[in-house]
Amino acid sequence: ANNQKGQLSRPKQFQPLVDSFTLFQNTVQRLDGLNGVEAPFVVVNGEHRFLAAEQLRQLGYSASSILLEPEGRNTAPAVALAAFQSLTGGDDPLLLVLAADHVIQDVGVFYSAVTGSVDSAEQGSLVTFGVTPSRAETGYGYIKAGSGEGSLPRPVGAFVEKPDHTTAESYVASGEYYWNAGMFLFRASVYLQELKTYRPDIYTACEKAAATQVSDLDFTRIDQKAFLACPSESIDYAVMENTTKAMVTPLDAGWSDIGSWAGLSDVLPADEYNNQIHGDVISLDSNNCMFRSDDKLLACIGLDNLIVVNTDDAVLIADKRRSQDIKQLVERLQQQDRKEALSHRKVFRPWGFYDTVDYGNRFQVKHLVVNPGASLSCQKHYHRAEHWVVVTGTARVTRGEETFLVAENESVFIPAGEIHQLANPGKLPLHLIEIQSGGYLGEDDITRFTEPGGGQ
């Protein structure tokens, strides 16, 4: 789940773009059909730890296998951290390295490609999976397969950069080139040895970072100073383009990395008018469009070749032919310091999440969901008061020196400057409405204490 854009609060791998599950959850569930695969090990930017943990929990997995990167350093260091971690138990397992934001439509073909590559990986090869190209794509790098037709995987002849359109057409016509999808299978020790050979600086930095680990809730933190000294590099540049052990297994399984809204349109089913529709949408006399609404009704009349996306935060309307230009729109938002470029209404925390329902001058309304047995930190605010209304469940509230229960349809007031704590002692999620009022409502107006009495 390694992500290089740590400033984004909810990148695409944590979004339900294709079905009711997120791309990350689909990647995890895809492993269930592979024999002998252990629970997934996740390397993720520290800013996204609660998202990853919550989405694993929804699938019934523990978050104890999440390792946090202080900052993204590209894929070579991320895989190195996973490799070092996998060796701590004394084993030397095969690592199946997958990005968290890919779509694979034919899972059976994916399984066959992986199982067919196990013997080669066990014998010391670094296997990459090359996607059989369906078009002359200029947005991907390519892998040229070497000699050895009839046997899988085949030796890698060369890794090549993103080509121009004419070159891409020649690659596809030759039948010898595959899209570089960034998926790998190899033994942990073999990858580390090759990394040590070709990029000892990355190897040493990751070894030092992984040597010092601290448990934080369900997560594992590494030595921040050591890791920040690590160069940023992809696994292709650091290892795969240098090693003599690279092999490629062709993969024709309906793969996509969903690099744009138009790319998402390619993998979604369409109605009789070639519209992809998700959510509460009514379409009249519209063709070749993607309509998506995450909350309210989206009504569309007489549209053609458009992308219309309605979320809690914003509405996007774009010509499909200009979908790649959306990144310019994001850059404009960032230049204007618009919060929509960085964060969403729904924010995940170790205890659950909150959704900002409404806000204005001197007030803010949030919907809080506290997981069973979880609690918020003991804290106080100098500039705001809070009023909690329990909707479902029972809250255990500490306010100053008193602790008491608040049941459904009951409320409690927390004055500004009062030490307080909220917990869910029940076995079901606690839902409540929090109404904040005051002169300053920023998230940084908070002082935390280790215990309800106010001790630091």
Q: Mind listing the pLDDT tens digit for each residue in 108-155?
A: 999 999 999 999 999 999 999 999 999 999 889 999 998 766 568 999
Both 326 and 376 in a single domain?
Answer: no
Both 388 and 276 in a single domain?
Answer: no
pLDDT for 8 equals 63
**Does residue 18 form part of some domain?**
yes
pLDDT for 156 equals 96
Task: Give me the number of domains the chain comprises.
Answer: 3
Pull the structure tokens for residue 350.
Answer: 């170790």
Both 372 and 444 in a single domain?
Answer: yes
Angle at 414 between CA 413 and CA 416, to 5 degrees: 135
**Does residue 455 form part of some domain?**
no
Q: Please give the residue range of the domain that contains residue 429.
A: 351-449
Both 94 and 204 in a single domain?
Answer: yes
Low-confidence residues of the chain, pLDDT below 50?
2-7, 453-456
Q: Look at residues 310, 335, 360 and tell me which one is the last residue of a structural domain.
A: 335
pLDDT for 150 equals 58
Both 205 and 92 in a single domain?
Answer: yes
Both 111 and 182 in a single domain?
Answer: yes
Both 186 and 243 in a single domain?
Answer: yes
**Domain containing 69 — which CATH number?**
3.90.550.10
Both 285 and 157 in a single domain?
Answer: no
> What is this structure's pTM?
0.82
**Does residue 2 form part of some domain?**
no
Both 98 and 119 in a single domain?
Answer: yes
Residue carrying structure tokens 């996306």? 309
Both 160 and 78 in a single domain?
Answer: yes
* Interval 343-358: pLDDT, tens: 778 888 889 999 999 9
